[in-house]
Structure 1
């Protein structure tokens, strides 16, 4: 993207170094603070105006100093552009090209919007120090969240990723509080009044403003040292929590210190800072943030309470810790040049995060999980017209929040996995290491990465990868069988199945990953590089499969009888192959390139399946069928019966009893099968779930609800129960001390089918009793329930002022809520109603979400109209009705 196409700050000055001091923090009062920032600047041409980024900051004064310390000029006029989030400092004197220092005095606010410099409320797990900030029943910690454009919300700065500089930082805090920043503490001195202290930190490396971070709180930590030596000594790795929670950080710590060493080896560059801190933040919009040397995390992404937490959260913690630590090199050491290449940071960190977890926990079958969760979610969004290229034009940085999505993260990581598999992982990582070394402490582009990989592999990576990065969408490969050969053709895949010629002009490089023969020999290294081609030496009666292990990012459309044969040869398929086969059949049924009858017939063959991740895909595909066809009572009943008959053998077999011999995947499989069967009406499972719930609710036997079955038992009890079960789980939400308990309770509460309870639930969700970061969980739960999603939409319309007021403080949360809350409908009238409702509203925070919502509903509605009758016929013919 050319510089002229970016809405960026004037290029008259560039920061070299910031010296930032914050003081007079009004803790528990107005939450205001004062600051002084001295910015060493290079001024490139004569000017009497300097423009910086600033949001919700009041600049009191600004002065320019010469190299000898003399005042060159004082700002005579200070003006703000709130729309572009800039402050203009005008000087009477013209400043010649020079090295100078800009000194700005300012005031700001520690907000509660989970952006900029903000405060998080919490109920302490242990008695806090006397000087801990407190307001009402809550205590507070302070931290920062600057990506993508919120450093300007904490202090005036040049807030663009390629305007890198070094930073000195100090902050005045209560004497009993702990202050953290990117670097180790350099010194402490007395504050302005007794009871306060100034904490100063070492100078950072050259880095972007969005990676600066600090935190203040009643913190404690657990620590481990790296096993590798860095410049002759081990590096301390710490996980900080508020008091009373540090023991729940042990698992994250174990992951973190091993991951620092692993990436130092993989990237062939030693971890570049003298310490690695992780911090659990009580209110957090994202999952985590990769601040250099001080990574911040949502509590459920870093804390695990052995015996109380669902083991699923261990998996999440290991991955999120690895993802953020990968950024310490890929994103922090080498940063994308501009936000259009966000995928360079996020796509790579996602892939290499999975790589690290697979290295440490091979028994988790991580790459199958990636295919089931990552690749399939990327397919779903990228099959919409509302999608965007991986590398998407970003004119104004304020637009970038809405591309922190499944395309940048999951499609980006999926095509990286495809490229790594093609080049060979060792070659791929050698190229990545060369890229990092060449651009360390600077900024780089996608082209720079392709050049390094091309050199490492002796292949023209640019030519075959650019369409994947710069073009929208992905292909479906359609297979036609002929005597002794098959023909393959690529076209753009759209979930609506109606790609126009002008939308189908891209020719992708597609690794075909062909396996053939009775035992499925190793995949042949062949690729489709044109719109169509023919593959020979394949007999009609032999076994073959394309896209081995779903390595390539594309759908495959087989002839109906070939799909049926594959469904009867599951023993020859890898878990990734099974996931891909089901996912492809389901998506092709939606688009009309396949049909739902073929999908249902394929799924029938999985009754004996024992793999959790294959069942995860089965469950997802069946849930979508039941959602789309929910309004036709006959089809809905038939699909419920289908689901029940499909899952019952496996659910009955796995049972309720946990064993110390159960591995991670077995635990997750039990939870999935019991939940799927219970929600499909399995009488014995519903009865047992309610029995266990009643023992738990009465207090007679709290252990009756196993920690790994809370979400399932709570969900079934509320779905099948009444006000009593609902109230019990609501109370559990309010009093639980389990780190994952609130997420689990909130999701289960959304299972209620009672209209009055739905409204109570939504009132509760939008009250201050539920953290803003968790509100979208409520939307997902209700939206997934076909019997209640219209109640969510009705509530949004009737209470929009309060909904908007609650969500508008954080655009990431707002966008997520709108997208997840409204995408499941399958009715053109509701799509029209949504469009009409938002027509005259300011939708700038979630306008992309609304496009995705409209496209998703249109897809579902077309699918329902086209296949509803056929699905009914199939269900009747196979005696599910």
Structure 2
């Protein structure tokens, strides 16, 4: 193991934890605990080092099994930076045998969404708390002293004292509940199998649940119970997640050829949560909007989210939990795979949603955006400390990781790929593994050099663009690194990627030899039908394609013969080429100009994403260009807006509803007079108590339009809705809507509201995203952060994931070098530990945005003028 990591000495190795929590004080938010850790002795030592953060360690001792003697702990010292407590022993313990190490400690039930923490919610209209854990990556040490590294796996026994009215949950089922008197009980759980500390979990509170069972029977266990737990009154909203979970547990058991290994599956809705969900083995925790859904009151877009997140976390029960990465540098092994197979399962059970089209539109483009920056990082990147680990839970680990797995599985064949995964899981079950272990298993199954294929994708930064040149009957394809700034230096373009070409079958003539992959910097493919070729068919590869302009025009003309994913890919690639300077923005706009007859939600989403980006980029420097682009956008969408209208018909398909909401929201933002008038009418009725005119899936579109056009009256009404809404997605929709304010006084009001205690820490990034996307509020948001930095840092730095996310979402939309200089100067003298990589992403984005605006402003203005905008 690398010596430059902040890791524990290897004198001892844990094999089992016996953890008992007592004295939960719900007034002072403290608790006491005792942990006894069974150890294998590896080296003679007079000290034992253990991870501990924000805990008070009281006393300890080591019981030596060989001599049946006890050695006391005589001194405890802490290293705050490494989060290691060193316990000095009264005498040296030997270099072999076994022992048990007991520590008494006290901890805090913090309000920072890490360790053992508390979440606020309304219980029958009264303020109350629920309690749960969040340990990934390195916060088990906040809850109990432990060996908090992924490759130090152990089994667990756990017990906790709680009020009689509470339900306690953990990874395994309850073993015993004992009445202690005084309104308390002690709940003990069945021994949990060998796992990493970050996967252990518990929770307690006044819970209820909905329950179902798997269809499959599992040897010795029958049909497995699956439950969704919530606080009181919300359980029925877990029904959709429950239905998906039961099917997905069976599906994964089949495709991985390993039965789900635990006796139960619990999903818990947590009211304050830093991430989307956490895959604790057997007790999966979720942000409420990622697991709860009400058919009558929820926005339909959350349905996709719930189905996918449930699948993603269940995938981890095998890939990540049963087999765990050896060290955090290989986090992508967990997250990239779970993302891919999560979408695979969602597509199986909801094929009508076209989730791969959604993946290409959202996830793939998000990964491209980050990895197209100079300051990106490889998928597999060495990390030293806990704060560095937190910063790689990003779009590279999740979305680029998933995209490369999707590319490889498409090349090998999904069945072959899954067979290799099954072999990998069986070989390393209950242990740890590396990326190379996965490549070995896949290579053996496929009979291919998978490690060779994938090494550069995983180990090097960035991704390629394939530039195509045509000649009669052939094309030449050249690969080079893509940077969104278009200024790749020779030393940055030294990688030769293995690139599966996914050339469509129609491209080959009868005499052509099919080419599976590009393995050199440049290659010529002969005997092609150059009128009907398309690279990266299905958008399965993680690369962009730069076609000759004539070919792009032809593909646009033939777009209705292409899949949704391919149409999205053409638009996204053309936009990326324009942004980097490898293509033309005028060409992009002409390409988009022809797409007003498009019917696909996913394709419209990509079209509008690119036009919104252009409007945002030019808003600061050229309102005239922004307004011209706004008029162009309106001309594109207006026919479809009129066709779709406002009403959802019975039996209407899911994606049509999504398209209606998208186009009405865009029309309201762009000043469509009729849409604004109708949105204001429906908003007025809604806020007066008549909710019948506002379909749940149109709340966001209507609220945004009302806030953007209705001034103080609309803001007051949305704030009132935020305070009273009972819809599980209601507050999130209100916060996103408030970001559309325009008047300086109202922008200030929303900013102050965001920083107030009325907005939970988990949600503060939501209005920040909306304000950052709002060119009239972006500058005020940045000034507010500067003026209130001490308070921002105080509120968000208890969980650095939250602070990093807030800053990236607040600052990355500027296209102004002066603002870039302000940001650099403001943070120059501050301790940026924990969010330094996020700041790097912000700076790279602004540099690229500014360079693009400076280069292409005249071209865009000319095109708009020539086309009457």
Q: What band does the TM-score fall into relative to the shorter chain?
A: over 0.9
3-state DSSP class of the match of 1:809? coil
Change (3 A) 1:145 1:388: same
Superposition deviation, residue 7 in structure 1: 2.5
Once residues 638 and 369 of structure 1 are traced to their aligned partners in structure 2, the CA distance between those partners, rounded to angstroms, is 29
**Match status 1:688 vs 2:686:** no
Is 1:466 equivalent to 2:466 in the alignment? no
Q: Which residue of 1 aligns with 2:6?
A: 7
Q: For 1:75 and 1:518, how far apart are their aligned partners in 2?
A: 74
Q: Cα distance, 1:72 vs. partner?
A: 2.4
1:753 aligns with 2:745: no
Tell me the alpha carbon deviations over residues 279-313 of structure 1, each in whole angstroms, 9 at most, x when there is no partner: 00000010000000000000000111121000111
Identify the residue that residue 185 of structure 2 maps to in structure 1.
197
Which of 608, 611, 617 matches 1:619?
608
Q: Output one character per residue of 1:681-713: Cα deviation in whole Å (capped at 9) or x when no partner.
A: 2111111111111121223x3211111100000
CA contact (8 A) 1:21 1:37 kept: yes
* Partners of 1:118 and 1:144 within 8 A in 2: yes
User: What displacement does 1:5 show?
Assistant: 3.8
Give 1:239-254 correspondences, 5 Å limit. Answer: 239-254=228-243
The answer to whether the 8 A contact 2:229-2:266 is kept is yes
Q: Which residue does 2:197 correspond to in 1?
A: 209
**Post-superposition shift, 1:92?**
2.4
Aligned to 2:300: 311
| Displacement after TM superposition at 1:483 (Å) | 2.5
1:841 aligned residue (825, 830, 839)? 830
Q: Is the 8 A contact 1:513 1:523 kept in 2?
A: no
Moved more, 740-749 or 797-806: 797-806
CA contact (8 A) 1:17 1:165 kept: yes
**Which residue matches 2:44?**
46
Give SS of 1:545's match: coil
Give yes or no for contact 1:63–1:71 (8 Å, CA) kept in 2. no
Query: 1:131 maps to which residue?
Result: none
Number of the residue aligned with 1:482: 471
CA distance in 2: counterparts of 1:321 and 1:840, whole angstroms: 42
Equivalent residue for 2:631?
A: 641
Structure 2 CA distance for partners of 1:31 and 1:572, relative to 1, 3 Å = same
Q: Which residue of 2 aligns with 1:111?
A: 110
Matches within 5 A, 1:204-243: 204-232=192-220, 233-243=222-232
Q: CA deviation at 1:786?
A: 1.0
Q: Do the aligned partners of 1:73 and 1:92 also contact (CA within 8 Å) in 2? A: yes
CA contact (8 A) 1:339 1:397 kept: no
Instruction: Output the CA distance in 2 between the equivalents of 1:384 and 1:708.
Output: 35
**Is 1:36 matched up with 2:34?**
yes
> SS at the partner of 1:435?
helix
Q: 1:864 to 1:263 in 2, by over 3 A?
A: same
Match of 1:324 in 2: 313
- Measured after TM superposition, the shift of residue 68 of structure 1 is 7.0
Any idea what the Cα deviations from partners look like across 1:650-688, whole Å, max 9, x if unmatched?
111111111112111111011011111221221111111
Aligned residue runs from structure 1 range 37-116, under 5 A: 37-67=35-65, 70-97=68-95, 98-116=97-115
Mapped partners of 1:659, 1:535: distance in 2: 50
Unpaired stretches in structure 2, ≥5 consecutive residues: none
Q: CA deviation at 1:870?
A: 0.6
* Cα distance in 1, alignment partners of residues 708 and 733 from structure 2: 14
CA spacing shift, 1:751–1:609, aligned 2, 3 Å: same
Normalising by structure 1, what TM-score? 0.97
Q: What does the per-residue CA deviation read over 1:434-485, in whole Å, with 9 as the maximum and x for residues that have no partner?
A: 0000000000000000000001100110101111011100000001112221
Query: Paired residue for 1:133?
Result: none
Contact kept, 8 Å, 2:782 with 2:811, in 1: the verdict is yes
- CA shift for structure 1 position 169: 0.3
Structure-1 residue corresponding to 2:651: 661
- Report the alpha carbon displacement of residue 539 of structure 1 after superposing the two structures with TM: 4.9
Task: Provide the residue aligned with 1:301 in structure 2.
Answer: 290
- Of 516, 522, 546, the match for 1:557: 546
Give the aligned partner of residue 640 of structure 2.
650
The TM-score with structure 2 as length reference comes to 0.98
Q: CA separation in 2, counterparts of 1:740 and 1:265?
A: 34
TM-aligned CA deviation for residue 842 of structure 1: 1.4
SS at match of 2:486: coil
- Tell me, in whole angstroms, the C-alpha distance in 2 between the residues paired with 1:474 and 1:412: 12
Give the SS at the match of 1:794.
helix
Q: Report the Cα distance in structure 1 between the residues aligned to 2:366 and 2:141, rounded to whole angstroms.
A: 33
Cα deviation digits, residues 721-757 of structure 1 (max 9, x gap) = 1100111011101110000000000000110111111
SS of aligned partner of 1:278: strand
Please say if residues 509 and 529 of structure 2, whose CA atoms lie closer than 8 Å, have aligned partners that are also in contact.
Answer: no
**SS of residue in 2 equivalent to 1:324:** helix
Q: Which residue is equivalent to 1:826?
A: 815
* Alpha carbons 1:7, 1:395 under 8 Å: kept: yes
Deviation of 1:545 after TM superposition, in Å, equals 1.1
Cα shift readout 1:249-290 (whole Å, capped 9, x = no counterpart)? 100100111111110001000000001100000000100000
Give the alignment's Cα RMSD to 1 decimal.
Answer: 1.5
CA distance in 1 between counterparts of 2:632 and 2:219 reads 62
State the secondary structure of the residue aligned to 1:205.
Answer: strand
More displaced stretch, 508-517 vs 429-438: 508-517
Say how many residue pairs are matched: 865
State the alpha-carbon separation in 1 of the partners of residues 245 and 73 from structure 2: 47
Q: CA deviation at 1:376?
A: 0.6
Alignment partner, residue 768 of structure 1: 757
Structure 1 residues 708-719: aligned runs within 5 Å: 708-719=697-708
Q: Within 2, Cα distance between the matches of 1:343 and 1:295?
A: 19
Distance 1:4 1:841 in 2: 29
Matches within 5 A, 1:563-578: 563-578=552-567
CA offsets per residue over residues 822-867 of structure 1, 9 Å max, x none? 0000001100100100111111121111000000000000000000
* Distance 1:113-1:640 versus aligned 2 partners, 3 A rule: same
Report the secondary structure of 2:217's partner residue: coil
CA distance in 1, matches of 2:444, 2:506: 35
Contact 1:523 1:548 in 2 (8 A): no
Name the CA distance, whole Å, in 1 between partners of 2:367 and 2:355. Answer: 17
Note if contact 2:315-2:341 (Cα within 8 Å) is conserved in structure 1: yes
> 1:130 corresponds to which residue?
none
Indicate if the aligned counterparts of 1:507 and 1:531 stay in contact, CA closer than 8 A.
yes
| Residue 86 of structure 1: how far off its partner (Å) | 0.8
Residues 12-56 of structure 1: per-residue CA shift (max 9 Å, x gap): 0000000000001111x1111100000000111110000000000
Task: Tell me how far 1:567 sits from its aligned partner.
Answer: 1.3
Give the counterpart of 2:534 among 545, 570, 578: 545
| C-alpha contact 2:269 2:291 (8 A) present in aligned 1 | yes
- 1:498 match: 487
Work out the CA distance in 2 between the residues paired with 1:68 and 1:407: 49
- Distance in 1, Cα, partners of 2:632 & 2:14: 64
